[in-house]
Structure 1
Amino acid sequence: MLYFLVAIAAIAGLLFGYDEGIIGVARPLLVKDYPLSQFVDGFMSAAVPLGALAGAIIAGRLTERFGRRRVLMGAAALFAIGALAAAAIGAIWQLVLARLVLGLAIGVAAVTAPLYIAETAPLSIRGALVSTYQLAITFGIVASYLMGIAITGDGTWRSMFGLGCVPGLLFLLGLIFLPESPRWLMMHRGRTEAAASLRRLRKAGAAIEAELDEIEAAVRSSAKASTHVSDLMTPYVKPALIVGMGLFFLQQLSGINAVIYYAPVIFEHAGFGNAQTQVLATIGIGMVNFLTTILAMLLIDRWGRRPLLVFGFLGTAISLLLIAVAVLVPGLLPEWMVIVCLAAYIASFAISLGPLPFVVMSEIFPLRVRGIGMGMASVSNWGFNFVVVFAFPLLLESIGLAGTFILFAVVCLAGVAFTLVRVPETNGISLEQIEAHLQTSRPLVELSARPRGETV
């Protein structure tokens, strides 16, 4: 049941990747029917992160009140409705509205799906299982790119948008058969229902009493705690908020979504004039993203979060600087080096900056404010996603591709310092032990593993 739950919850990531990537593929066909100004084009692309920002703002409250599973069911319905609406538009403003709806679903699911997986996963493989959400995002992006080859011809952009309804309905259907998070049940309905959920999620005959005792103790210790947004600024929660929001800030300003949205444009600026070459190179980049994310899943619970973050930030910074040099000094590096450097950038991101903010976000917040804490971290994610995607064409026009990539590289170098100073190593530490450490008021970065049941 656990792996079925993870597979279903990860469909939220697939839909995220597909709905974000498909606009770049469908745009050349769409503009034949609906010519777009640069402003409308930018806003249409940025409608998804803008809607997701609104979804992130409300997701925390919804998950705390209604539970993780039911909120995901609502998001699944919005995915299906948004996809059908995008396929049936009669004016461009209707497409913007449909993509805002899709963004709302993505924003809610981006908080709730990693939370749902983290609260149901065993300690030993929690990082890998939460990372399936990011893996599904990369798969969705590749699927959207492949649509550019599989579906061609005038008006076929409607089919591209409409196909997003299929995984949305599968997502909704699968959730019907899943249990609620045992941690949410313990907090709202008591030990009996939490135990029933946990038994469905663990191997037959597995001892669950120790895990239930730890969850119940954490709930009891925070029984009088409120769940207002202002509680995130209390001394023992604020360090978690800084890490959660900071990682997503750095993730987005590393430039990843600008690269995903505008990969064909980047190849054009780098000297690849043939449209088919641009599409094939873009698909290749998507495959690198997908395959390296699989590698990340294998390493997250072995190497730990901090080493992978440092490796990822350094790799993205170096790759971006090399691309900037290639653009600034044409002929200094062969054109194929641009593809190699861009692939290295994507690989560095996918093994680190892609999955880890979602993993760390789902681990570091105390149970009582986990939903709203993750919601606020996602506000950082989607707010800066919108800024980067909307501003990228303007940056290209003002400071050029090289200047833009240098700016992103500086952010990545700042990420190394942030990781070393602020980000804790959560590998091998239960959610309840992380919460107990926060309550000691010691720096979060000093978090270390302790035997199960030992107090701090």
Structure 2
Amino acid sequence: MLLKGKSYVIYFIAAVAGIAGVLFGFDEGVIAGALAPLRHELGIDALAEGLMTAAVPLGAFVGAIIGGHLAARAGRRRLLMGSAVLFTIGALLSAGAIGFWTLTAARLIIGLGIGVAAMMAPLYISESAPTSRRGMLVSIYQLAVTLGILGAYLVGYAFADQWRWMFAVGAVPALMLFAGIFYLSDTPRWLLMHGRENEARAALRRIRGKAATGAEVTAEFNEIQAGAMADTGRKARFADLLAPRVRPALIVAMGLFMLQQLSGINAVIYYAPSVFELSGFSSSTTQIMATAGIGVVNVLMTLVGMALIDRIGRRFLLLLGFAGTAVALGVIAIGAATGSAIMGKLALGGLMLYVAAFAIAIGPLPWVMMAEVFPLQVRALGMSIASLVNWGFNFLVVFSFPVMLSHLGLEGVFGLYALVCIAGLAFTQWFVPETNGVSLEEIERHLNSGRRLRDLGRLAPDSA
């Protein structure tokens, strides 16, 4: 069933799906506070630390494959419920871990849940949201990620050396996700793809609520139905993503996630206390508090990005984000290379600027655009491939950071991340379209027309 109500129902849907983002952020960020007591209790070395930390993105990589394979058949709702079960099991196993390998296995299970949910939550929201608010609503997922990260930092501070309790807290939002999604139906677009027209019509009417007229709902339903009928037939194949009409969408989705990860965000999230330690913050409490400050900036600037995304568009925000992160990382790298006496202040200021620029654009927009640019028939498959790129490079960055840090130093690592952000400026300028204010069906028609995806948004919608 789908909850009855007015137009606020779409916000409830986005909030429930966004709990998956809270879990994503929490389970990635909690390791920052748990690493110090884990090092002491389990006696792990740098290689084991990298493996245990990277188990989450590795599991998410596999989860993305599973999600992409099952999304069309099982639906968005069922997979979100399944991911909630995986989150719960992983959190409880982590809390009760008896050694390094047990904890690594538990975090691998959590990663599986993240990989599935990180695909399904943005897709679920995107396929339910009205065009005018789609960007902001999908961005709720990224806001939830930042809230989860901040929550993990605060839990780490509150429980100090009690790492088992840190991990156990993650079961609470997992149960909330399961309970919330239980009362929702699948998206109108998925229901139509499976011939469930009456359910799809009722779902759309309830999502839009009394704020939309009957004629508006009917017109939107007819447009969705036309797109769904055009995309029914044989099962989507990987070769479909390489077809000339779809390949530009694949390049954009994969490219944005690759750049997002290679900008170094998860190295910062996982290892922020270690970065502050290298920058002169000797007290572990001070390191955690400074890290929590980064988490607050992350949340606040994500809110700013949400307010702007449907107003000034995706492309401008991406250009702003890549420019800001490049400058911030460059400042940190220069400060570390010169051995400046004010390195601590440079690190704190640089990381805050970096996180602010990332949160306003580079964080949410790959998730938003991944859920927008693909045609309906291959949307789940395309998002699966983009997610594989995301988690593959996430694993690479997190696993390699301790090793790179020992060989290149802080200046070398952050200098490389700054170069990636400069490359992001060029990629956005040359490849990324403007999808603001364009319906999913209009985006698909533009792809089918054979015109450059980059030109989307420059044309009137009826000419696309």
- If the length of structure 1 is used for normalisation, what is the TM-score? 0.97
Residue 139 of structure 2 contacts residue 364 of structure 2 at CA under 8 Å; is this kept in 1? yes
Name 2:105's counterpart in structure 1: 97
Q: What amino acid is the match of 1:407?
A: L
Give the AA of the match of 1:21: G
1:122 aligned residue (118, 125, 130):
130
1:18-52 C-alpha deviation (Å, 9 max, x unpaired): 00111121121223331112211110000000000
Give the match for residue 347 of structure 1: 356
SS at match of 2:371: helix
Residue of structure 2 aligned with 1:12, choices 20, 24, 32:
20
Aligned counterparts of 2:343 and 2:405: Cα–Cα separation in 1: 22
TM-score (norm 2): 0.95
1:267 aligns to what SS in structure 2?
A: helix
CA–CA distance in 1 between the matches of 2:21 and 2:172?
A: 14
Structure 1 residue 333, shift from structure 2 partner: 4.7
Q: Give the structure 1 partner of residue 309 of structure 2.
A: 300
Q: Give the letter aligned to residue 9 of structure 1.
A: A
- Structure 2 CA distance for aligned equivalents of residues 77 and 192 of structure 1: 30
**Residue 425 in structure 1 maps to residue 431 in structure 2:** no
The equivalent residue for 1:366 is: 375
Count of residue pairs the alignment pairs up: 453
- For residue 236 of structure 2, the aligned residue among 216, 227, 244 is 227
Q: Secondary structure of the residue that 1:89 maps to in structure 2?
A: coil
Separation in 1 of the partners of 2:99 and 2:407? 31
Write the distance in 1 (CA, Å) between the matches of 2:318 and 2:169.
Answer: 35
Counterpart residue number, 2:298: 289
> Aligned residue for 2:327?
318
What residue in structure 1 maps to residue 398 of structure 2?
389
> 1:147 pairs with 140, 151, 155, which one?
155
Letter of the structure 2 residue corresponding to residue 274 of structure 1: S
Report the identity percentage: 52
CA contact (8 A) 1:179 1:200 kept: no
Q: 1:440 aligns with which of 431, 442, 449?
A: 449
Alignment-derived partner of residue 4 in structure 2? none
Structure 1 residues 150-165: aligned runs within 5 Å: 150-153=158-161, 156-165=162-171
The letter for the 2-side match of 1:199 is R
Which ranges of structure 1 fall in alignment gaps of 5 or more residues? Answer: none
Contact 2:33–2:157 (CA<8 Å) still a contact in 1?
Answer: no
2:5 maps to none
- Name the counterpart of 1:272: 281
- Is residue 252 of structure 2 the alignment partner of residue 243 of structure 1? yes
Alignment equivalent of 1:173, drawn from 171, 176, 179: 179
Q: Deviation of residue 62 (structure 1)? A: 1.3
2:43 aligned with 1:27, yes or no? no
Aligned counterpart, 1:51: 59
User: What are the within-5 Å matches in structure 2 for residues 193-208 of structure 1?
Assistant: 193-204=199-210, 206=213, 207-208=216-217
Note the C-alpha offset of 1:386: 0.1
Deviation at 1:421, TM superposition (A): 0.5
The SS at the match of 2:97 is coil
For residues 45-70 of structure 1, the C-alpha deviation after alignment (integer angstroms, 9 at most, x for no partner) is 00000000001112122111111111
Question: Offset of 1:334 from its aligned partner?
Answer: 5.6
Instruction: Give the deviation of 1:176 after TM superposition.
Output: 1.0
Looking at structure 1, the residues matched to 360 and 37 of structure 2 have their Cα atoms a distance apart, in angstroms, of 33
1:178 is matched by which residue type in structure 2?
A: L
Aligned to 2:142: 134
8 A Cα contact 1:225 1:368, kept in partner: no
**Deviating more after overlay: 245-254 vs 443-452:** 443-452
Distance (whole Å) between structure 1 residues aligned to residue 426 and residue 450 of structure 2? 22
CA contact (8 A) 2:92 2:167 kept: yes
Q: How does 1:38-77 map to 2 (within 5 A)?
A: 38-77=46-85
